Amino acid sequence: MGKMIYLDNAATTKTAPEVVDAMLPYFTELYGNPSSVYDFAGKTKEAVTASRQQIADAIGAKKEEIYFTAGGSESDNWALKAAFEAYKTKGNHIITTKIEHHAILHTCQYLEKERGAKITYLDVDENGRIRMEDLEKAITPETILISVMFANNEIGTVEPVKEIGMFAKEHGILFHTDAVQAFCQMPIDVEELGIDMLSSSAHKINGPKGIGFLYIRKGVKIRSFVHGGAQERKRRAGTENVPGIVGYGKAVERALSTMKERTEKETELRDYMISRIEKEIPYVRVNGHREMRLPNNVNVSFQFIEGESLLLMLDNYGICASSGSACTSGSLDPSHVLLAIGLPHEIAHGSLRMTLSEETTKEDIDFTVDHLKEIVQNLRNMSPLYEDFIKKQK
């Protein structure tokens, strides 16, 4: 097999070499526990503080508002469960959407089944955006929290976060956003956007796996998620993942400093890829909003085809992509996101997500589209549905 073309950056990214270099000393020489009092441990404490500051600056927050977690899933769980606990005397109603990541959806289902929460799952339009009228209609005097993702991990659609933030503020409702896919792909300022809580994860921005943060605005009542020591202002106990935190800081520094040119380049390649696919492959549909879209996301559905077969054939050429969401592969249910934007089951099944990185080149895109074209045609030639369809066309 020749070179690998990695187009699954929404699932995870390569840890940048500078990030690994920044982390290494915290495994080898600087292994002290940040809570210890001697000078040696002070170095690790300083490194954790510096990283926290860097991350706070990246979203216009204060460093006391950044809580390190073990990743995006933990941050989402924490935000929802702890806000529900802390505000349940005020009300038990949470509003979210049908297209959230499972870390949100399954947490909501848990709160609904086991904790007496009432959850509204907002519909989205055909591009994957919520409608503000629906949000307005959904609120009740019991509504304590709105959780809407910043950008969707499958179809790349960016939600109207600022409008939601303003609306939530006006009504005295907390606003949480899962920004795992959006962070460092577009500017985020929690003040300007009216965000009270925000989840993020390092491994989606060329940082290490197993480290994330939850931003919690000062003044938001939120319970501890892990009880034990006094780490993370007593809200999330446990010795800090120092190498992870240091790597996260480095990843953010790196991603922010290249954001403008990187996302411009990705956007151009993304649109080039989409236009080639639309021009050269028949019976295809582009999923997600055309403009309000993550710079690196391409999501398309091919009629008469199974996404899983497509993935296997692409893999033969060293092309890594995804159908629907990685979290659901292994199950035969089509993606809840594709169903929410109105795709029929059979079209949703023929979907392919390709997510680019800063390293993706035009040659990679051409190679991928050339093979995609050929694979789609071969698979269709084996499909009885396609055969029937073609007969009827004649």
Ligand X SMILES: *Cc1c(COP(=O)(O)O)cnc(C)c1O
Residues that bind ligand X (CB under 6 A): 71-73, 76, 101, 103, 149, 153, 178, 180-181, 201, 203-204, 212
Residue nearest to ligand X (CB): 72
For 356, phi then psi, to 5°, come to -85, 165
Sign of torsion over alpha carbons 70, 72, 73, 79? positive
Nearer to ligand X, 215 or 302 (CB): 215
**Can you list the alpha helix ranges (DSSP code H) found in the chain?**
17-23, 39-59, 72-87, 102-114, 132-138, 161-170, 190-193, 242-257, 259-280, 307-316, 336-340, 345-349, 362-381, 384-393
Contacts of 65 (CB under 8 A, 6+ apart): 56, 215, 216, 217, 218
For 332, phi then psi, to 5°, come to -95, -5
Nearer to ligand X, 181 or 263 (CB): 181
Q: How far is the CB of 327 from ligand X (least distance, A)?
A: 8
- 95 forms beta bridges with 120, 146
Q: How far is the CB of 199 from ligand X (least distance, A)?
A: 7
3-class DSSP state for residue 384?
helix
Nearer to ligand X, 178 or 266 (CB): 178
CB atoms within 10 A of CB 47: 21
Q: How far is the CB of 249 from ligand X (least distance, A)?
A: 16
Q: How far is the CB of 81 from ligand X (least distance, A)?
A: 15
Cβ atoms of residues 135 and 146 within 8 Å: yes
Nearer to ligand X, 198 or 369 (CB): 198
Contacts of 155 (CB under 8 A, 6+ apart): 99, 128, 287, 288, 289, 297, 299, 337, 338, 341, 353
Q: How far is the CB of 160 from ligand X (least distance, A)?
A: 17
Contacts of 266 (CB under 8 A, 6+ apart): 295, 296, 356, 357, 358, 360
Q: How far is the CB of 145 from ligand X (least distance, A)?
A: 17
Nearer to ligand X, 32 or 210 (CB): 210
- Which of the residues 108, 184, 320, 327 is marked catalytic? 327
Strands 212-216 and 284-286: unpaired
Nearer to ligand X, 201 or 351 (CB): 201
Nearer to ligand X, 153 or 322 (CB): 153
Nearer to ligand X, 108 or 305 (CB): 108
Q: How far is the CB of 255 from ligand X (least distance, A)?
A: 15
- Going by the DSSP 8-state scheme, the letter that residue 109 receives in this structure is H
Q: Is 327 a catalytic residue?
A: yes
The owner of tokens 């629907």 is 324
Residue burial 157-187, b: 16+ Cβ < 10 Å; e: rest: bbbbbeebbebbeeeebbbbbbbbbbbbbbe
Q: How far is the CB of 202 from ligand X (least distance, A)?
A: 8
CA-nearest of 81, 58, 76, 56 to 66 is 56
Catalytic residue set: 327
